[in-house]
Structure 1
Amino acid sequence: MAQSQSVQSLHRALDILESIATSPAGMTLQELSERTRLKNTTLFNLARTLADRGYLEKTHTRPIRYGLGASVEALNRGTAFGSGAAIDESLLKLAEEHPQWRFITAEAEGVDVLCDRLIEPSRKNVVIRGSRTWLPPYTSASSLCHLAFWPSHPRKQCETLYPFAMYGAGYWGSAQKLESAIAKVREVGFVDIHDRDPHRVAVPLFNRNNALKGSLGASFPGDSSPSSSERQSVIDALLAESKRLLPFLDRQRPQSQSIPHETSLSPVS
């Protein structure tokens, strides 16, 4: 009996989500009640549960309206790299082999490079998804991957939105040094920042059509530094995983809108 009620509640929750998805302006509880034919108490409790889990958001002005929440968008973005399971497998494998390192995947949303997945040394069996932390241009290894391998148009857009003088000069000193670094990245096929802490490396993720889909990065947290052989071992591992992921990156990313970054995680690579 309890199982049957749970299934019924799930169906009702899906009815609510599907109804709201058809209304860009959101819906009031009264409108939802008319659409779903649910009792007010049932509707209120389900809407509150969905809002608590982030699947619904409600306005702070009256009449209160409900719209789809960030958790729905996060589920949608789980397919950004084609197969989320394959990406998770790569991160878990890397963390197991190199437990002192932090690993991330990143992707571009417009000209912003965002952290899509993260695995910390302290929780190497847990893949953190959906943080969407902004990775600054010019100073993040993942962002440098995109600057190096983007077509000219998105790179120019990024440089217009984030002028080097404001966002990169303090780090690189001159635009010539940045260009030399980007040329080196294109030559060797990866980013390797080891002359300042934290040590960071990243490799581009291409699909089989040679389209840039994102990047796979790592950083060595803390004050200590990895040996050159260990750093090279991590780079080799990243490159190997990027090749393994090729067939999983052909799927087109669904179009989506950006959402506020509610989880605060330090840019890591």
Structure 2
Amino acid sequence: MKDNLVQSLSRGIDILRFIAESEDGRRVNEIADEIGVKPPAAYNLIRTLASRGLVEKRNSKYQLGPAIADLASSHLKRRLITSAKKSMMSLSTKFPEFSFVLSELSGREISVRLLLSTDCPSYVQEPSGMSFQFYATASGLLFQAFVDDETLETIRESSPFSEDGIKLWNSLDELEKSLLKIRKEGHAVKPFDESSLFAVAVPVFNDKRRVIAAIGASVRKKILQEKAGCDKEIIRCMKEEALKIK
């Protein structure tokens, strides 16, 4: 029984590899010939893989299913989280007065994935249910500045400027000028003077130069005023650390 289970797993992997090597999928008979079994046996293996979303049938052929992409995405996200934790700890060591966050676009909102607070500087938290606004935060403005046009359109649909942004900005034109400045400078600073916090965010890009996350930092302005040049220094260091996150 044990050997059969191992053999089934091995054949399942061979099926996935064989399908992955094709342009438009494989038929049951092709798969059966490739792995050296009869079509009914191949079909049972394929059906098992399909039940887990690893393969799916399209136009009478079997192709890789969505679970394959989900597994790859989960691996990349975990690698991103692990890498970001190291960078945030490094930044916290240099700038202990600051709190740090890592945020991502998740559907139609900005989700905070990591939090390193001054209250607990030795531990990077992975909070749940914590999110940022698009128009009132440095990270929200940063994402609007660097995402592609299609994603920006989705953001504006879920959080309309006429409802959420007009309260903070005099006009959409004023917001767009701020986003242009963010793109030129490579970082976003929370622009509202009435806030008691200095908040800044820098982008994390993938190999294709698409923004995949944002590192944010915040500190009370009173503390910042006591350290001349600290704002420029932390922005420089954050950009350096963002390049290390993959």
User: So what's the TM-score if we normalise by structure 2?
Assistant: 0.65
Please give the alpha-carbon distance, in whole angstroms, between the structure 2 residues aligned to 1:96 and 1:107.
23
Question: Aligned to 1:124, what secondary structure does the other structure show?
Answer: coil
- Which amino acid is 1:224 matched to? K
Deviation at 1:162, TM superposition (A): 0.9
Query: Is 1:110 aligned to residue 127 of structure 2?
Result: no
Query: Is 1:161 aligned to residue 167 of structure 2?
Result: no
Please give the alpha-carbon distance, in whole angstroms, between the structure 2 residues aligned to 1:140 and 1:81.
25
Pick closer, same or farther for the CA change 1:123–1:79 going to 2, 3 Å: farther
Specify the alignment match of 2:130 in structure 1: 133
Report the number of matched residues. 174
Cα RMSD (Å): 2.4
Please give the alpha-carbon distance, in whole angstroms, between the structure 2 residues aligned to 1:239 and 1:177.
26
Whether contact under 8 Å (1:141, 1:191) holds in the other structure is yes
Whether contact under 8 Å (1:118, 1:127) holds in the other structure is yes
Of 200-209 and 185-194, deviating more is: 185-194
Specify the alignment match of 2:211 in structure 1: 212
Query: Is 1:149 aligned to residue 146 of structure 2?
Result: yes
Cα displacement string for residues 115-155 of structure 1 (whole angstroms, at most 9, x for unaligned residues):
11000012111101132412111111111111000000110
Specify the alignment match of 1:239 in structure 2: 239
Question: Aligned to 1:128, what secondary structure does the other structure show?
Answer: coil
Whether contact under 8 Å (1:148, 1:183) holds in the other structure is yes
Specify the alignment match of 2:224 in structure 1: 226
Whether contact under 8 Å (2:137, 2:190) holds in the other structure is no
Query: Is 1:120 aligned to residue 117 of structure 2?
Result: yes
Cα displacement string for residues 48-74 of structure 1 (whole angstroms, at most 9, x for unaligned residues):
xxxxxxxxxxxxxxxxxxxxxxxxxxx
Please give the alpha-carbon distance, in whole angstroms, between the structure 2 residues aligned to 1:109 and 1:83.
15
Question: Aligned to 1:170, what secondary structure does the other structure show?
Answer: coil
The structure, 1 or 2, with the larger RCO (C-alpha pairs under 8 Å, 6+ apart) is: 1
Whether contact under 8 Å (2:104, 2:113) holds in the other structure is yes
Deviation at 1:96, TM superposition (A): 1.1
Please give the alpha-carbon distance, in whole angstroms, between the structure 2 residues aligned to 1:127 and 1:182.
30
Please give the alpha-carbon distance, in whole angstroms, between the structure 1 residues aligned to 2:126 and 2:111.
11
- Which amino acid is 1:193 matched to? K
Richer in helix (by share): 2
**Which of the two has higher C-alpha Rg?**
2
Whether contact under 8 Å (1:191, 1:203) holds in the other structure is yes
Specify the alignment match of 1:189 in structure 2: 186
Deviation at 1:79, TM superposition (A): 4.9
Please give the alpha-carbon distance, in whole angstroms, between the structure 2 residues aligned to 1:212 and 1:199.
23
Deviation at 1:243, TM superposition (A): 1.2
Unaligned runs of 5+ in 1: 1-21, 24-75, 249-269
Question: Aligned to 1:96, what secondary structure does the other structure show?
Answer: helix
Identity of aligned residues (%): 22
Specify the alignment match of 2:34 in structure 1: none
Specify the alignment match of 1:37 in structure 2: none
Deviation at 1:188, TM superposition (A): 0.7
Specify the alignment match of 1:8 in structure 2: none
Alignment of 1:23-172 (within 5 A): 79-80=76-77, 82-172=79-169
Pick closer, same or farther for the CA change 1:179–1:239 going to 2, 3 Å: same
Deviation at 1:180, TM superposition (A): 0.9
